[in-house]
Amino acid sequence: MEKTDTLQRLKSIEGHVGGVVRMVERDAYCIDVIRQIQAVQAALNKVSSQILDDHLHSCVITAIEGDDPQERERVLKEISEVYSMASKVSMKP
């Protein structure tokens, strides 16, 4: 994903978060606020997935194909940590 596309998506999400803030300020119906928050979370997850995909197809491939075993281990550890953190976040109620 290109940087401009990523920035455009994040700015759109930023606008949606502002909308959620306004909803809370106006005492909008709680379920409507939750639905908007879930939409923002889904949009952030999509951007995160696209960035991770780009990372896997660039930095990780370069490290795996490279001659430095420490760099390979570092990159693989990063991926493992990201996956572990994502699992912890998705498990929270």
Q: Is the pLDDT of residue 7 over 60?
A: yes
Find how far residue 92's CA is from the centre of its chain. 16
Q: Which domains are present in the chain?
A: 3-91 (1.20.58.1000)
Q: Please report the pLDDT score of residue 86 as a whole number.
A: 78
pTM of the predicted structure, to 2 decimals: 0.80
| Residue (of 50, 53, 41) closest to 6 by Cα position | 50
Q: For residue 58, give both structure tokens.
A: 């660039």
Q: What is the pLDDT of residues 22-68, one digit of tens each?
A: 999 999 999 999 999 999 999 999 999 999 999 989 988 999 899 99
Lowest mean pLDDT of 13-27, 31-45, 75-89, name the range.
Answer: 75-89
**Contact of 18 with 26, CB cutoff 8 Å:** no
Q: Please report the pLDDT score of residue 90 as a whole number.
A: 65
